[in-house]
Amino acid sequence: MNTIQPFNIRNIRDIQNIESVPLSEQQLPVSSYEVFKRSAERYRDRIALRYLESIKPDIVEHSFTYPDLLGIIHQTANAFVHLGASVDKPVSMLLENVPQAHFTIWGAEAGACVNPINPLLDIEHICAVLNEARTHVLVLSSQHVAALNDIKAQVPRLKAALTVGVSEAELASLTVEGLHVDDFDRCIAEFSSAQLNVKAPVGEQRASLFHTGGTTGVPKLAPHSHFNEVVNAWQFGGSVNLTEQDVGLCVLPMFHVNAVFITGLAPFMVGAEVVLATENGYRNADVQEAFWEIIERYRASYFSTVPTIVHDLLQLPSNHYDLSSLRFAGCGAAPLSREVMRRFERKTGLRLLEGYGLTESTAVSTIHAPGIEQRVGAVGLRMPYMQIKIAQRQENGEYLDCPAGSLGSVLIKGPNVFSGYTDPKKNVDIWVHGDWLDTGDLGYLDEDEYLWLSGRSKDLIIRGGHNIDPLMIEDAFYKHDAIAVVAAVGKPDARVGELPVVYVQLKAGIDISGQELLSFAQGNISERAAIPKELHIVDKIPTTAVGKVFKPDLHRDIAAKVVAENLRSLHIQGQVTVCDDASAGFRVEVFIAENAELEAKLTRKLEEYSFAYCLINEAAPVQNRRAV
């Protein structure tokens, strides 16, 4: 049986040397299930999973060895199959970071297919995901039990629900017509832990369906094959030199690919230990406060993070703790300010390995491997066996490859890249030259093939045809000690298309004016066109459940502000709201009660902008909608 070996990458030539051996000869497991079978045989006495149920007043923990975990995976898979789940009838999961989340993911992949869902979504959006996935079995926590009747009504094909953390009394009183409801632990206990009672999955078989593309609008599901998952876990583990001595601390949510593969399947593949830091991970205030203490106590060697968490960790004292076990922290999900990276590394002595990935490439596509030169601002080198190139889209729709140093669209392909979304309509225009995925990101490759990102193509601020990188603006603001989080977006402008504006979240206890911050930034932004025209100080900048700044909410807010400004300029009383729009992403709805002349003036104003709107004159109902 092959042992997964560290890659010890120092430069792109080392990656090319790894690739001199065909991938088919690397003797990788054929499925996520085989990962656990191999590890249970090789690492019989090692702890695979440790769950910290609580941090205060005392730490309460539960642990599972590799044979324990394999046995529970067998039980879970067999239970799901008994309930009718299959590759085409997936198991969906609405769980926090509890052991049953791992049991569900790997048990479902062994016997069927898994669909992890963000439990913080509203019920309507959850049901839309369940219907898109064609879910047959749902595993859920107490948080959503009260909504089961609503869920069943909206998802008629749902046949069974297994609950986690629901009391016997509550479960006994729960009746949902046409739905089998049972306790997860009690249900799986009735099935054999000795073996899988169905044919084991193989490489090209669908393993999972991950929701991507935000928290509103029509759901978009990215399927992963077992081959995608195993290869990407191996690519990451080898690139950061994981071994059985490592301990990965998981603080990101289990519906996210990073938690599932980077602090999940990758360490499981090499016999390392995974620590789940309470059910709420980093959203738990106790975990935040005791973060460095947890690192010291469990000798964690790495953890994954996102820029907003890095900002929070900068506020925590770390000099009283023994952090010598830490080898690195992986940071992704959004560009990290160079200034914040420098401050974090100075404060902790810990190297931040900035990487790049997306759900469509399973989890990770590039990383600053520990042995390579760290280039602050870059996101590292590509994973072995995958390819990255930069191309510019021409007016005729064709893509031309870019030389080193030239900015363009980031295109990827390789064994970790998915085959397309479940909805064929979502696959229009995502493939270039047949099998290259257009990630929607902008960047360039330098002479040594490091990837440098310049933001999402849709996040670019385009002022009068001039492309402005929002990261350049954000970097300037992060140099100010008052800033906790900053986000630069484009404000719709009738003359130049967009103007740069910023939203700022201050550090706790800081009092400073927006004008002072604007003056500071003006002295730190070299590009005149990029100097922000407005600054909005907010209590909290919106983030996703993994802590990534969620700019779509800011784009909605600034569009609503533009409409409100136009109402004031015309001395019109009105109400402005923003709602989802299937084709445009969002639309601004404007309710007024005015005469036809003022309505016509407002219509002419709003027609100058590119966002969708709906004008409703309650005095004489007429609707106009600006197509995007």
Residues 354-391 pLDDT 10s? 899 999 999 999 999 999 998 887 899 999 999 999 99
Check whether 2 has a pLDDT greater than 70.
Answer: no
Pick the residue with more confidence: 488 or 433? 488
| pLDDT score, position 612 | 84
Check whether 626 has a pLDDT greater than 50.
Answer: no
| pLDDT score, position 467 | 66
> Mean pLDDT across the stretch 221-226?
98
> Mean pLDDT across the stretch 29-35?
98
Check whether 61 has a pLDDT greater than 70.
Answer: yes
Q: Cβ(378)–Cβ(398) under 8 Å?
A: no
Residue partners of 542: CB distance under 8 A and separation at least 6:
549, 550, 553, 554
Q: Cβ(441)–Cβ(434) under 8 Å?
A: no
Q: pLDDT over 90 for what percent of the chain?
A: 68
Residue partners of 235: CB distance under 8 A and separation at least 6:
364, 383, 384, 385, 386, 416
Largest CA distance in the chain: 80
Measured on CA atoms in the order 433, 585, 486, 542, is the torsion positive or negative? negative
Cα(114)–Cα(136) distance, integer angstroms: 10
| Both structure tokens of 24 | 């088919």
> Mean pLDDT across the stretch 451-465?
75
Cα(174)–Cα(259) distance, integer angstroms: 32
Check whether 623 has a pLDDT greater than 50.
Answer: no
| pLDDT score, position 430 | 92
Residue 441 sits at φ, ψ, to 5 deg, of -100, 155
Check whether 433 has a pLDDT greater than 50.
Answer: yes
| pLDDT score, position 311 | 77
> Mean pLDDT across the stretch 463-468?
68
Q: Which of 621, 624, 605, 599 is nearest to 613 (CA)?
A: 624
Check whether 621 has a pLDDT greater than 70.
Answer: no
Order the strands of the 585-592 sheet from edge to edge: 574-581, 585-592, 612-617, 623-625
Is residue 357 classed exposed, middle or buried when 0-12, 13-18 and 19+ CB atoms within 10 A define those classes? buried
Q: Which of 414, 20, 92 is nearest to 228 (CA)?
A: 414
Pick the residue with more confidence: 308 or 605? 605
pTM, entire model? 0.80
Beta bridge partners of 585: 581
Give the model confidence (pLDDT) of 385-413 as tens digits: 999 999 988 878 788 999 999 988 999 99
Check whether 1 has a pLDDT greater than 50.
Answer: no
What band does 559 get if pLDDT is binned at 50, 70 and 90? very high
Residue 513 sits at φ, ψ, to 5 deg, of -85, 155
| Both structure tokens of 449 | 């093939």
| pLDDT score, position 152 | 97
Q: Which of 362, 330, 106, 360 is nearest to 257 (CA)?
A: 362
Angle between the N-to-C axes of helices 99-111 and 32-42, in degrees from 0 to 180, rounded to the nearest 10: 120
* Cis geometry, peptide bond prior to residue 57 (ω within 30 degrees of 0): yes
Q: What is the DSSP letter of 259?
A: I
For residues 376-385, one letter each, b for 16 or more C-beta atoms within 10 angstroms of the residue's C-beta and e for the rest, the string is: ebbbbbbbbb
The torsion region of residue 282 among left (phi > 0), alpha (psi -120 to 50) and beta comes to alpha
Beta bridge partners of 361: none
* Rg, Å, the chain Cα set: 25
Find how far residue 428's CA is from the centre of its chain.
22
| pLDDT score, position 494 | 78
